[in-house]
């Protein structure tokens, strides 16, 4: 049994991409998807080489790995002034390989949600998404959900990116698939409460509005059965590295995002409301972590045995910050 939930996520996101392209009349351009995948992996590797501290905590795994031979040599090379040698050695940092699945999840998620006219736009959005993990950091963690950050940046700054909230339609079958797949992944990372809190509070808010307006209940069901909303709730806001660590914090946070989504959608008529809500409230998770401290989430590594660093795989003990 594979332990790393990210691999499930990668599998499901890839499946959704294929399903969507095959059955939902999407104008998915394979070149765009490939550019997203290639860019996310390359950017992650490069950023890892540049930013991962060679002798302290790894931002992705935060394994207290201090005696890795590669990093030791890298430090040595730095001291002797051999710049390129140091870079080459840094590229062999085993933490880079272990962080690639996260990057791939971001790349696939963005291919699924973001539509662009040109592959370059996708590449830039993905670079922004991955780079945000390394540059926009506070209290030892990244501030924004990388995929969400990339999507919002592309919507804001590029002239040819958009999001199609109606792309999945509201077919019940797809809804079940999303719920099932999302549930499986969230079970593995123990963050199902976030999705439940988001969907639950959003459903309640929409129900109250529906009741007040006097719409029939199929209007409510139609608004909630949107495939895009489910993908967002199950695969985007649940990124365990950018949500509050304590359960209470997560519930408050997810409820706040649901409320802001509801307001943006029904008062400001933004069809891409969930993305803006998540973007605006991402920093709130840092505040909630400060108010309600709890142990930080770590990706389990046992699925990724690193060929040139056997000691890492054998040292899986989690040491809190």
Partner 1 sequence: MRSFRVWAIALIAFLLTFTVSSKALAFCGFYVAKADAKLYNQASQVAIARSGNRTVLTMANDYQGDVKNFAMVVPVPVILQREQVQIADSRIIERLDSFSAPRLVEYFDPDPCAPPIFWNRPMAAPAMESAAPGRAGRSNQALGVTIEERFTVGEYDILILSARESDGLETWLVQNGYRIPQGARDLLRPYIRQQMKFFVAKVNLEEYENSGYQALRPLQMTYESPRFMLPLRLGMVNAESSQDLLVYILSPEGQAEVSNYRTVKVPSDAEIPVYVKDEFSAFYKAMFQTSYTREGRNVAFLEYAWDMGSCDPCSAEPLSPEELRQAGVFWTRPEMPNNVFITRLHVRYTRDKFPEDLIFQQTNNRSLFQGRYILRHPYTGEMACEAGRQYRRSLRQRFEQEAQTLARLTGWNIRDIRDKLPQIRAEQFPALPLVARLQQLMGRVMER
Tokens of 74: 């890298």
Question: How many residues of this chain bind partner 1 (CB under 8 A)?
Answer: 43
Tell me the closest approach of the beta carbon of residue 140 to partner 1, in angstroms.
20
Question: If DSSP states are collapsed to H, E and C, what string results for the chain?
Answer: CCCCHHHHHHHHHHHHHHHHHHHCCCCCCHHHHHHHHHHHHHHHHHHHHHHCCCCCCCCCCCCCCCCCHHHHHHHHHHHHCCHHHHHHHHHCCHHHHHHHHHHHHHHHHHHHHEEECCHHHHHHHHHHHHHHHHHCEECCEECCCHHHHHHHHHHHHCCCEEECCCCCCCCHHHHHHHHHHHHHHHHHHCCHHHHHHHHHHHHHHHHHHHHHHCCCHHHHHHHHCCHHHHHHHHHHCCCCCCCCCCHHHHHHHHHHHHHHHHHHHHCCCCCCHHHHHHHHHHHHHHHHHHHCCCCCCCCCCCCCCCCCCHHHHHCCCCCCC
Near partner 1 in 233-262, by CB under 8 A = 252, 256, 259-260
Contact between 117 and partner 1 by CB under 8 A: the answer reads yes
Closer Cβ to partner 1, 10 or 177, answer by number = 177
Per-residue binding string, partner 1, 55-94, x by CB under 8 A, is ----------------------------------------
Contact between 296 and partner 1 by CB under 8 A: the answer reads no
Closer Cβ to partner 1, 83 or 217, answer by number = 217
Tokens of 249: 């914090």
Contact between 139 and partner 1 by CB under 8 A: the answer reads no
Contact between 284 and partner 1 by CB under 8 A: the answer reads yes
Closer Cβ to partner 1, 135 or 213, answer by number = 213
Near partner 1 in 264-283, by CB under 8 A = 267-269, 271-272
Cβ–Cβ contacts within 10 Å for residue 18, how many? 11
Closer Cβ to partner 1, 24 or 315, answer by number = 24
Among 7, 11, 21, 24, binds partner 1 (CB under 8 A): 24
Among 34, 207, 263, 286, binds partner 1 (CB under 8 A): 263
Contact between 30 and partner 1 by CB under 8 A: the answer reads no
Q: Which range in 88-96, 106-114, 235-243, 286-294 contacts partner 1 by CB under 8 A?
A: 286-294
Among 79, 81, 84, 216, binds partner 1 (CB under 8 A): 216
**Sites of contact with partner 1 (CB under 8 A):** 24-25, 27, 115, 117, 158-162, 164-171, 212-216, 218-219, 221-223, 226, 252, 256, 259-260, 263, 267-269, 271-272, 284, 287, 291-292
């Amino acid at each position: 049994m594979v332990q790393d939930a990210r691999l499930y996520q990668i599998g499901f996101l890839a499946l959704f991409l294929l399903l969507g392209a095959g059955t939902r009349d999407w104008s998915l351009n394979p070149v765009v998807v490939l550019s997203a995948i290639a860019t996310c992996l390359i950017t992650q590797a490069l950023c890892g080489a540049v930013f991962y501290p060679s002798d302290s905590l790894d931002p992705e795994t935060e394994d207290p790995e201090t005696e890795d031979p590669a990093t030791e040599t890298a430090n040595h090379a730095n001291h002797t002034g051999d710049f390129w040698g140091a870079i080459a050695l840094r590229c062999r940092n085993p933490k880079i390989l272990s962080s690639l699945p996260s990057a791939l999840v971001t790349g696939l998620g963005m291919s699924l949600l973001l539509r662009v006219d040109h592959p370059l736009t996708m590449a830039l959005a993905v670079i922004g998404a991955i780079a945000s993990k390394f540059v926009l950091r506070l209290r030892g963690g990244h501030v924004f959900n990388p995929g969400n950050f990339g999507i919002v940046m592309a919507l804001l700054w590029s002239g040819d990116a958009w999001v199609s909230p109606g792309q999945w339609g509201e077919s019940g079958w797809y809804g079940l698939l999303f719920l099932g797949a999302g549930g499986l992944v969230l079970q593995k990372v123990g963050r199902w409460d976030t999705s439940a809190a988001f969907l639950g509070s959003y459903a309640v808010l929409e129900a109250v509005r529906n009741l007040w307006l006097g719409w029939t209940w199929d209007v409510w069901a139609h608004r909630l059965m949107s495939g895009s909303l489910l993908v967002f709730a199950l695969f985007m806001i649940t990124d365990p590295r950018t949500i509050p660590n304590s359960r209470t914090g997560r519930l408050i946070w997810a409820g706040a995002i649901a409320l802001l989504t509801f307001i943006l959608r029904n008062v400001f008529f933004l069809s891409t409301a969930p993305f803006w809500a998540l973007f605006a409230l991402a920093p709130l998770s840092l505040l909630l972590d400060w108010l309600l401290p709890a142990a930080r989430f770590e990706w389990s590594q046992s699925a990724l045995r690193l060929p040139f660093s056997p000691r890492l795989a054998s040292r899986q003990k989690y040491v809190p910050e």
